[in-house]
Amino acid sequence: MSFASLGQFPQYRPRRLRQSAALRRLVQETSLRAGQLVLPLFARAGRKTRAPVASMPGVFQLSPDEIIREAAAAQAAGVAGVLLFGIPERKDEKASGAYAANGIVQQTVRLLKKELPDFLVLTDVCLCEYMSHGHCGVIGKGKGRGVDNDPTLALLARTALSHAEAGADVVAPSDMMDGRVGAIRQVLDRQGFSGTPILSYAAKFASAYYGPFREAAESAPKFGDRRAYQMDGANALEALREVAMDIQEGADMVMVKPALAYLDILHRVKTEFGYPTAAYAVSGEYAMIKAAGAKGWIDERAVTLESLLAMRRAGADFIVTYSATAAARWLKED
């Protein structure tokens, strides 16, 4: 549409369509529904365990039985599904807990699919929570001791396969290693899981907004940072190249993370590729809204829903958010 053409319509008065809630709903361009939301959950061993995450009020590390309770509440509210992260009892330099047949994520996936068979279960595929050093891959032995890309791919593929075998509906690699989507797709297809979709964290930026997540997932690096493999926040064209590469390797859906500070990237990804596109409203975004809401400085409900709507308007088909259940309930009330 050319807005220059509006000069041809001198009687255009947009305020006429804003006079009532019914009129505003009638001409609303972007919708936000509960079924477009996914709830991240942190699974840990135990029973009846709800360990609060101090920097994320209302978020907990949960034992599998408590995961079922949270997931059931989310499903009842209309949320589409959950995205699982695992917190193992032991960590090592091979991330063996990530792909163990009876690992915490694998156990939880099986229980979820048994108890809530129609609820979507997505699994985060990364190694940082399981590595003793907290990085997303195998540490090389050469100069600089950074993450060694290619040896990491085999472990990521093994992890994704173990999630699919447990019953995961979608596997979501978040490590940002080069070639990991292709490696995962190849292993899944070879082992009879060609129908398992891959949601790639295709444009994942090295962001200060991840701070509270480090506490929730117990995944802070023991040395250095993740800037050598997560993206530079200054680079938009690189993000498009990353997305293109992951689609070429077999990604079925792509994600931009974080969300609010990268809405321009989200819009460009959706416009350029037209693929199912997710936004991840990350821990820092959630924590800031919760903290300001608790102080009475903002209306938590209104700001949360406005932020989620902005992500939809920018191009997100669905949104991963810690506010999923609350937002779904608020949407029902509106």
| Pairwise CA distance, residues 79 & 328, whole Å | 6
pLDDT of residue 229: 82
The pTM of the whole model exceeds 0.75: yes
Residues 128-134, mean pLDDT to the nearest whole number:
84
**Alpha carbon separation from 73 to 24, 60, 67, 110 (Å, rounded):** 31, 15, 10, 18
Query: Taking residues 18-30, what's their average pLDDT?
Result: 93
Q: Given this model, what pLDDT does residue 137 score?
A: 78
DSSP string covering 59-92, please?
A: -EEE-HHHHHHHHHHHHHHT--EEEEEEE-S--B
On average, the pLDDT of the chain sits at 92
> What whole-number percentage of the chain has pLDDT above 70?
94
Give the residue among 134, 149, 170, 129 at the shortest CA–CA distance from 253.
170
pLDDT surpassing 90 at residue 132: no
Which domains does the chain show, CATH number per domain?
31-333 (3.20.20.70)
Find the mean pLDDT for residues 177-187: 96
Active site annotation includes 94 = no
pLDDT at res. 23: 92
Smallest Cα–Cα separation from 228: which of 136, 298, 161? 136
Secondary structure class of 105 (helix, strand, coil): helix
For 17, which DSSP code? G
| 332: annotated active-site residue | no
- % residues pLDDT > 90 (the chain): 77
What phi and psi values does residue 294 have, to the nearest 5 degrees? -65, -30
Q: At what angle do helices 263-273 and 237-249 cross, to 10 degrees?
A: 50
pLDDT at 145: 67
Q: Give the whole-angstrom CA distance, residue 27 versus residue 214.
A: 42
Q: Is the pLDDT of residue 142 over 70?
A: no
> How confident is the model over 251-300, as pLDDT tens digits?
999 999 999 999 999 999 999 999 999 999 999 999 999 999 999 999 99
Res 271: pLDDT: 98
Distance separating alpha carbons of residues 34 and 122, to the nearest angstrom: 17
Q: What is the pLDDT of residues 39-88, one digit of tens each?
A: 999 999 999 999 999 999 999 999 999 999 999 999 999 999 999 999 99
Q: Which residue among the candidates 91, 113, 114, 257 is catalytic per the annotation?
A: 257
Residue among 91, 113, 141, 204 flagged as catalytic: 204
More confident residue, 116 or 133: 116
32: Cβ contacts below 8 Å, ≥ 6 apart: 305, 308, 309, 312, 327, 331
pLDDT at 211 > cutoff 70: yes
